[in-house]
Chains A and B, each alone.
Chain A
């Protein structure tokens, strides 16, 4: 319904010229929820009440909880540096590494937390962490298969082959686009495990969404503005 998309200027001011989109000029400042120095819980370490109770506090002398691999349990305890019983994005970053020993990037860590965090609190418990480790291990094996020359990262050719084997029919230009966006800058751009996981998960989700609309399977769809918004928002990882 309605003629066109709203101009949606958005109040985002400033001129961030980072890799994200550019916010637009906005109104002047006034206090409110925002900086932690204003009355509010912002300066609290964000653990919230009840973190020490419930399944948060695992005694190191205890065995792994039922259904949790003992190795995953012991790793959890090491990674949960503040012993809150939960792992945050920051702690997860220290646990997950690429084949070149770099930490997983923030976006992928966030994606992982969102996937395995049932409470939408931005952190995961030992069950979520255990499931996450299994998930990453599966991706790591897949990654190693596609990394034909065992360089530790996936090159343009390897990426193309990976997509093809996964059943995607994507052009070389598209692979180039992904490399430009996700690879480290170098004469031979290639993709690390963290970004590979991110790409594949997005690809899967977006392809499912497209297929739902392209019932005639012509590879082309006509989308209204709100259709497009809905498709992306509902499937956002």
Chain B
């Protein structure tokens, strides 16, 4: 179909059923984690799983139903596309340079040292590069932090003046 279009609902339904191992009608953290691959022999980052489910679970039930799952499916599939685009050497991992290109491509303007911090924090494989799951988590966190910073940076000059409690509220709203 057209790029960006959802696939056939019966296809999505068959995926849903495969992932919903206990047939509860809800895909929980554990089930989604088992269905996803980060391209290595390690389990998919549980924090990324939680972030994704948190975005699409409209009822705070700890998982997604079939309707919500269609959003999850598209979200993950779109991330696959992005990852492939920036994993230019096709290594299955995104190195520091590829990460720079990806984030710069999204519009971020960050220092070289900050990229070292990002990789150190998000790379769970310990290879100085980010796998698919860690890449998603990195981008999600960066986006949330940027969103909240923007809300406070009313004159958009890249600086904010905040009190202790404002700072706490900012971060508590996204963790």
A contact set with B: CB distance below 8 Å: 1-24, 26-38, 40-46, 48-49, 88-90, 105-107, 110, 113-114, 120-123, 170-171, 173-174, 177-178, 181, 202-203, 206-207, 210, 214, 219-226, 228-230, 232-234, 236-237
Judging by beta carbons under 8 Å apart, are B131 and A33 in contact? yes
Interface assignment of B40: CB less than 8 Å from any CB of chain A: yes
CA distance A89 to B31 in the complex (A): 12
Judging by beta carbons under 8 Å apart, are A202 and B175 in contact? yes
Describe B's contact surface by its main secondary structure. Answer: helix
**Interface set, chain B 50-107, CB cutoff 8 A to A:** 50-51, 53-58, 60, 62, 71-72, 74-84, 92, 103-104, 106-107
A-B contact pairs, 9 of them (CB 8 A): A7-B107, A29-B3, A29-B77, A33-B131, A34-B76, A48-B41, A170-B168, A222-B160, A230-B114
Taking CB atoms, residues of chain A closer than 8 Å to B141 are 233, 236
Taking CB atoms, residues of chain B closer than 8 Å to A110 are 46-47, 50
**Of the residues A13, A34, A220, A224, contact of B163 by C-beta under 8 Å:** A220
Interface residues contributed by chain B, number (CB under 8 Å): 93
Taking CB atoms, residues of chain B closer than 8 Å to A8 are 103, 106-108, 142-143, 146
CA distance A43 to B80 in the complex (A): 17
Judging by beta carbons under 8 Å apart, are B118 and A233 in contact? yes
Interface assignment of B42: CB less than 8 Å from any CB of chain A: yes
- Quote the shortest CB–CB distance from A58 to chain B (angstroms): 21
Describe A's contact surface by its main secondary structure. Answer: loop
Judging by beta carbons under 8 Å apart, are A12 and B168 in contact? no
CA distance A17 to B67 in the complex (A): 12
**Of the residues A1, A114, A220, A229, contact of B162 by C-beta under 8 Å:** A220
**Of the residues B37, B104, B118, B147, contact of A34 by C-beta under 8 Å:** B37
- Quote the shortest CB–CB distance from A145 to chain B (angstroms): 23
CA distance A237 to B161 in the complex (A): 24
Judging by beta carbons under 8 Å apart, are A2 and B161 in contact? no
Given contacts A32-B132, A48-B42, contact A6 B107 (CB under 8 A): yes
- Quote the shortest CB–CB distance from B74 to chain A (angstroms): 6
CA distance A33 to B87 in the complex (A): 11
Given contacts A5-B150, A14-B75, A41-B40, contact A23 B55 (CB under 8 A): yes
Specify the chain A residue showing the minimal Cβ separation from B40: A41
- Quote the shortest CB–CB distance from B20 to chain A (angstroms): 14
Most buried by A among B15, B37, B58, B72: B37
Judging by beta carbons under 8 Å apart, are A225 and B153 in contact? yes
CA distance A41 to B171 in the complex (A): 35
Taking CB atoms, residues of chain A closer than 8 Å to B9 are none
Given contacts A14-B56, A16-B55, A29-B78, contact A225 B45 (CB under 8 A): no
Judging by beta carbons under 8 Å apart, are A33 and B83 in contact? yes
Known: A6-B109, A34-B37. 15 other contacts (CB 8 A): A19-B57, A28-B5, A28-B78, A33-B38, A35-B15, A36-B36, A48-B43, A49-B41, A120-B124, A170-B165, A174-B169, A206-B167, A222-B159, A228-B149, A233-B141
